[in-house]
Amino acid sequence: MTAKLYCFGESGNAYKAALALELSGMDWEPVFVDFFKGEARSDAFKEINVMGEVPSFVDGDITLTQSGVIQQYVVDQTGKFGGTSENKYEVLRWVLWDNHKFSSQIGPLRFLMNFLPEDKRPQEVINFMLGRTKAAYAVLNDHLAGRDWIVGDGVTTADLSCCSYLFYDEPFGFDRADWPHIDAWLTRISQLPGWKHPYDLMKPAFTA
């Protein structure tokens, strides 16, 4: 049975799950959720995810929500991207860092800068979040100096989580040229067999 990922292209969190599924070779398909028109808040969707969020994942009798949980399911099903027994907690540390310090800044910032009407974009909030986001870029860029991957010698969920928002083209205070170690790392990820841009993996709500 083909697993289903409920998602939409603009969601960096959904891309974390979609990319892990795609690169793992699991049998899955995206199911578009028209998030910006409120579909995720509908009663029908809340039968899948009571929190009204994407990504949501259904594989037979299993329903999972939250990108990190879905990524861990991929690890458990395929044996891929989980790191080694020696560094699996370091992988988890970076996934949690991304969720709390990185994507949690980039996601709202990108939304405010691109998906709100221009006259409703709160510039003071945007400036504050830009500062926090650039501080997080610096942490990741410094960590990647002299490394191919965030943890260990191969791609893990740490990489697939942290990279998710950085492949989008909309402006959100990120220029790859400013962060050379991140830039080289993103190139390595994009060269992995099966890699696809988020708008090629998932249908966007807006024209990409």
Radius of gyration of the chain (CA): 17
How far apart are the C-alpha atoms of 181 and 36, rounded to whole Å?
Answer: 34
User: What does the domain layout of the chain look like in residue ranges?
Assistant: 3-81+195-201, 88-190
CATH architecture of 3-81+195-201: 3-Layer(aba) Sandwich (3.40)
Q: Which CATH class is domain 88-190?
A: mainly alpha
For residues 197 and 186, is the Cβ–Cβ distance under 8 A? no
For residues 27 and 19, is the Cβ–Cβ distance under 8 A? no
pLDDT at 1: 85
pTM of the model: 0.95
How far apart are the C-alpha atoms of 115 and 168, rounded to whole Å?
Answer: 13
pLDDT at 207: 60
- Mean predicted confidence (pLDDT) in 179-194: 98
Residue 27, class by beta-carbon neighbours within 10 Å (0-12 exposed, 13-18 middle, 19+ buried)?
A: exposed
For residues 36 and 114, is the Cβ–Cβ distance under 8 A? no
**Position 60 pLDDT exceeds 80:** yes
**Position 39 pLDDT exceeds 90:** yes
pLDDT at 208: 45
Single-letter code of the amino acid located at 6: Y
pLDDT tens for 97-144 read 999 999 999 999 999 999 999 999 999 999 999 999 999 999 999 999
pLDDT tens for 132-176 read 999 999 999 999 999 999 999 999 999 999 999 999 999 998 999
